[in-house]
Amino acid sequence: MSNKTWLITGAARGIGLSLARQVLARGDAVAATSRTMESLRQALGADSDRFLALEVDLVSEPGVQAAMEKIIGAFGSIDVVVNNAGYGQQGTIEALTDAELRRNFDVNVFAPLHVLRHALPQLRKQRSGHIFNVASIAGFQGGYAGWGSYVATKFALAGLTETLAAEVAELGIKATIVYPGPVRTGFLSRESLVVAQHAIADYAAAQASLELHLNGLDGKQAGDPEKLALLIIQAANTAQPPVHLFAGQIANELAEEKLKAVSGDLAAWKSASQATDFTE
């Protein structure tokens, strides 16, 4: 297999960092983004002929465009795009402010769209490439009280990837949505997870979920970021990668539960549903 050039967003920590390190160890080239150059330097070191660190505010489209130009200038191509950057927003739908919701969508949805719009011309020119959008099992099975904003962003990313896969197939480009279960990174730390400024006491289930994630799950997640990174690398190097890639036992179990629940709803309401069509 020939060496690839990877663009990995959110590469200074967590899944993105594990992936960047493994890709570099394989001999591939990496363009890595983070909000601060210092975090990239501490995590991945100095630039080289196979590594380019980029301080980018992904919410800024001009910033993303400038970064893409630097990547093409340094490596001449982009073979794999990994939209990994994002954050969790906790809070009930009633309690979240418009600003909190829009910020979560800016980072988790519109920032990946900026990356896609400015990476796709190069991939289309090459008639090759593979895009990975990292969602969450919460982007497939969304029944978590207090996580409506985060769930909505990840469902949006999943739907976007399905359409993207259909659009770019004729151009020789592949697209995969990744659904990790709980992964042992800093995602649930009090420094990373954003909690709504306003809470409503009546929503007891949402508060219990927040306490569980902060005090019961943080640092104890089942998912290994190194093994998840390897899974993405495996998918990037197969001729027929999946559009939907679930990662971890918990993700697979929750996906199966969701499919079973949807099948049950379909069966229970099939007659009434089909009766809404015109009859000739």
Per-residue pLDDT tens listing for the chain (280 residues): 468 999 999 999 899 999 999 999 999 999 999 999 999 999 999 999 999 999 999 999 999 999 999 999 999 999 999 999 999 999 999 999 999 999 999 999 999 999 999 999 999 999 999 999 999 999 999 988 999 999 999 999 999 999 999 999 999 999 999 999 877 665 555 556 899 999 999 999 988 887 776 666 666 676 788 999 999 999 999 999 999 999 999 999 999 999 999 999 999 999 999 999 998 8
Residue 114 lies in a domain: yes
Q: What is the pLDDT of residue 29?
A: 97
Residue 246 lies in a domain: yes
Number of domains in the chain: 1
CATH number at residue 47: 3.40.50.720
Residue 105 lies in a domain: yes
List 87, 144, 150, 203, catalytic entry:
150
Residue 43 lies in a domain: yes
Clarify whether 150 is annotated catalytic: yes
Q: Give the residue among 78, 77, 241 at the shortest CA–CA distance from 169.
A: 241
Q: What is the pLDDT of residue 215?
A: 66
Element (H, E) at 54: strand 51-55
Residue 251 lies in a domain: yes
Question: From CA 63, how far away is CA 53, in angstroms rounded?
Answer: 14
Print the domain residue range for 13.
5-274
Task: Write the DSSP string, 162-189.
Answer: HHHHHHHGGGTEEEEEEEE-SBSSSTTS
Q: What is the pLDDT of residue 190?
A: 57
Residue 21 lies in a domain: yes
Element (H, E) at 38: helix 37-44
Amino acid (one-letter) located at 246: F
Question: Would strands 194-195 and 5-8 be described as parallel, antiparallel, or unpaired?
Answer: unpaired
Residue 148 lies in a domain: yes
Q: What is the pLDDT of residue 101?
A: 97
The pTM is what? 0.93
Element (H, E) at 33: strand 29-34
Residue 235 lies in a domain: yes
